[in-house]
């Protein structure tokens, strides 16, 4: 029971921190404009990569939760592989955004 409370407390703290940082960055953007160079809006390829990143993030979250629940290292390694794919998708998305496609 104690372990569950610690896991819950750490999860709530992490989510609160992420929400707080996101809120702070959004307020900063509203006051000062976006960070970095102004990129053109994404085209069809950019939107496809954006959705692929969202799907990868959801799959990775499910894999991490499943690896914890089932104590399976294979699922954890699949989540790490998903993280590598997410990074490759991010790099491709940035390149596509810079070219305006």
Q: Residues 9-25: pLDDT tens digits?
A: 888 888 888 888 888 88
Cβ-in-10-Å burial (0-12, 13-18, 19+) of 7 comes to exposed
Distance CA 101, CA 89 (A): 15
pTM for the structure as a whole: 0.62
Mean pLDDT of 74-94: 92
Mean pLDDT of 77-86: 92
In whole angstroms, how far apart are CA 13 and each of 9, 22, 62, 65?
A: 6, 14, 20, 17
Distance CA 54, CA 46 (A): 12
Give the per-residue pLDDT at 52.
Answer: 93
Q: Residue 48's pLDDT band (boundaries 50, 70, 90)?
A: very high
């Amino acid at each position: 029971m104690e372990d569950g409370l610690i896991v819950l407390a750490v999860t709530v703290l992490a989510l609160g921190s992420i929400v707080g940082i996101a809120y702070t960055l959004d307020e900063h953007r509203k006051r000062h404009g976006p960070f970095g160079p102004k990129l053109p809006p994404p085209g069809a390829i950019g939107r496809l990569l954006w959705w692929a990143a969202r799907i990868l993030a959801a799959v990775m979250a499910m894999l991490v939760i499943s690896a914890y629940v089932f104590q399976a290292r294979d699922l954890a390694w699949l989540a790490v592989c998903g993280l590598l794919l997410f990074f490759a998708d991010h790099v491709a998305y940035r390149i596509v955004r810079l070219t305006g496609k």
